[in-house]
């Protein structure tokens, strides 16, 4: 409810200020929209396919730009196996039990069912490169590459995203002592292992490096919907997944809007709203692709508010708060008859790795940017609802023009 309230609040302000007066001094240079790096989480499934996020620019980039994103996110989920009964009568019987109790009413040895098994532990490091090209006539083309590596998350390379830091935070500030059984299974380990319901297996170990894929995005900024303080653009997205676990093409569409709200000659707010739609695995190039969710159609909403202050020399300092929501990876109704099996050593939150595959995926990001001829952005991201996103994710982005 609080997430819907935040989006509704931004939408109200956005609509109420579309025709606000421009009061900027003629010697002040506004940056081109909101300074936002990639805020896509290092979700252990999401890193293997394309995802859509907001493009909050007033107009296409005037010069060819290169954006470099580095990210680090701690992911965790105890080992868990889940059965999906084939028989309709058995499914109806499972519906009479709570998901965490269903395992006690059925015999694994005789159960006619498909199954999948998941274990998540480690810090995912990501590198994203993106080039933006002006095509003329209010058009822009972005070409990107994403790479990832799984690590143990030891100091000094993962100070805020290490297991020990997160558990100290839980113990001393919020969450209580060891709320996710990290201490039970041990700190600073690196293993992501997933066997889907078709028997295809993914396994990443420490320092496991792979290319996630190539991404292209085309944006059109209609002249009738672009001004100095208001802009809309429409995007078409094509992603080519290159890993050995998912060799396929994804396709998506998005609508993006941004509004500049003046305060005085050197301070202003910006609000961005985005709605996107993605078709995963539109074209598959391998029969052995791992199944990263039974929902092939994913929708997303992103909203952001940013406060900007222009200092001497036309340097802009920006603070932003971003909210990202994506629909569930698995079909929601399946959870009603799924039978998760608790690992014998697990005590707390043992089912999150599975149950959250059936819930909307959402998180918040706090951003700080410095923009002049180049743009440098830092962000801290938090998944408050434990949706299999990182407990904590940090990132840095650097954008500059290419000569």
HEC-encoded secondary structure of 245-302: CEEEEEEEEEEEEEEEEEEECCEEEEEEEEEEEEEEEEEECCCCCCCCCCCCEEEEEE
Q: Could you report the per-residue pLDDT of 184-243, keeping only the tens digit for each?
A: 888 888 999 999 999 999 999 999 999 999 999 999 999 998 887 889 999 999 999 999
pLDDT at 122 (0 to 100): 94
pLDDT at 5 (0 to 100): 56
CA–CA separation, 42 vs 361, rounded Å? 12
CA–CA separation, 189 vs 121, rounded Å? 6
Q: What is the 3-state secondary structure (H, E, C) of 295-351?
A: CCEEEEEEEEEEEEEECCCCCEEEEEEEEEEECCCCCHHHHHCCEEECCCCCCCCCC
CA–CA separation, 356 vs 347, rounded Å? 18
pLDDT at 347 (0 to 100): 82
CA–CA separation, 81 vs 270, rounded Å? 45
Radius of gyration of the chain (CA): 22
pLDDT at 269 (0 to 100): 96
151 and 125 Cβ atoms separated by less than 8 Å: yes
CA–CA separation, 222 vs 79, rounded Å? 50
pLDDT at 312 (0 to 100): 84
Cα–Cα distances (Å) from 216 to 66, 135, 208, 335, in that order, read 14, 14, 25, 34
- List the chain pLDDT tens, one digit each, 403 residues: 555 556 655 655 555 554 444 444 445 568 999 999 999 999 999 999 999 999 999 999 999 999 999 999 999 989 999 999 999 999 999 999 999 999 999 999 899 999 999 999 999 999 999 999 999 999 999 999 999 999 998 877 788 888 888 888 888 887 778 778 888 888 888 999 999 999 999 999 999 999 999 999 999 999 998 887 889 999 999 999 999 999 999 999 999 999 999 999 899 999 999 999 999 999 999 999 999 999 999 999 999 999 999 998 889 999 999 999 999 999 999 999 999 999 998 888 888 889 999 999 999 999 999 999 999 999 999 988 776 788 899 999 999 999 7
pTM equals: 0.91
Provide the CA 350 distance to its chain's centre, in angstroms. 23
User: Which residue, among 211, 73, 52, 216, has the nearest Cα to 146 in the 3D structure?
Assistant: 211
pLDDT at 265 (0 to 100): 87
**Lookup result for tokens 């309230």:** 5
Q: Containing H/E element for 386?
A: none
pLDDT at 80 (0 to 100): 94
Would you state the structure tokens that stand for residue 296, as one six-digit string?
């092939």
Beta bridge partners of 279: 251, 297
pLDDT at 389 (0 to 100): 82
Burial of 378 (0-12, 13-18, 19+ CB in 10 A): middle
Q: Containing H/E element for 74?
A: strand 65-85
Provide the CA 142 distance to its chain's centre, in angstroms. 18
CA–CA separation, 240 vs 286, rounded Å? 13
CA–CA separation, 43 vs 56, rounded Å? 23
End-to-end CA distance of the chain: 47
Would you state the structure tokens that stand for residue 268, as one six-digit string?
């202003």
Cα–Cα distances (Å) from 298 to 42, 73, 294, 358, in that order, read 17, 22, 10, 12
């Amino acid at each position: 409810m609080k997430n819907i309230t935040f989006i509704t609040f931004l939408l109200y302000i956005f609509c109420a200020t579309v025709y606000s007066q421009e009061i900027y001094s003629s010697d002040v240079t506004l940056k081109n929209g909101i300074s936002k790096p990639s805020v896509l989480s290092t979700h252990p499934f999401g890193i293997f396919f394309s995802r859509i996020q907001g493009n909050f620019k007033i107009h296409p980039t005037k010069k060819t730009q290169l954006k470099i994103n580095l990210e680090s996110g701690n992911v965790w989920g105890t080992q868990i196996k889940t059965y999906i009964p084939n028989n309709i009568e058995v499914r109806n019987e499972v519906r009479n039990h709570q998901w965490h109790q269903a395992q006690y009413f059925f015999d694994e040895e005789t159960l006619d069912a498909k199954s999948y098994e998941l274990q998540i532990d480690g810090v995912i490091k990501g590198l994203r490169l993106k080039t933006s090209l002006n095509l003329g006539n209010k058009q822009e083309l972005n070409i990107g590459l994403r790479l990832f590596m799984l690590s143990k998350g030891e100091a000094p390379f993962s100070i805020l995203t290490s297991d020990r830091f997160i558990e100290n935070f839980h113990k001393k500030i919020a969450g209580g002592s060891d709320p996710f059984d990290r201490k039970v299974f041990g700190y600073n380990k690196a293993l992501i292992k997933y066997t889907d319901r078709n028997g295809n297996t993914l396994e990443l170990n420490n320092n496991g490096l792979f290319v996630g894929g190539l991404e292209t995005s085309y944006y059109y900024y209609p002249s009738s919907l672009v001004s100095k303080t208001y802009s809309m653009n429409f995007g078409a997205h094509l992603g080519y997944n290159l890993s050995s676990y998912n060799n396929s093409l994804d396709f998506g569409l998005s609508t993006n809007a941004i509004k500049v709200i003046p305060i005085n000659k050197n301070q202003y707010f910006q609000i961005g709203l985005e709605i996107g739609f993605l078709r995963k695995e539109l074209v598959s190039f391998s029969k052995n692709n791992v199944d990263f969710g039974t929902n092939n159609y994913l929708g997303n909403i992103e909203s952001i508010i940013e406060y900007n202050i222009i200092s001497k020399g036309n340097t802009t300092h920006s603070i932003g708060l971003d909210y990202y929501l994506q629909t569930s990876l698995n079909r929601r109704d399946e959870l009603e008859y799924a039978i998760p099996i608790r690992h014998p050593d697990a005590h707390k939150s043992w089912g999150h790795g599975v149950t959250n595959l059936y819930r909307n995926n959402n998180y918040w990001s706090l951003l700080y940017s410095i923009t002049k001829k180049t743009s440098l952005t830092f962000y801290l991201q938090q998944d408050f609802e434990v949706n299999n996103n990182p407990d904590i994710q940090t990132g840095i982005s650097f954008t500059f023009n290419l000569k």
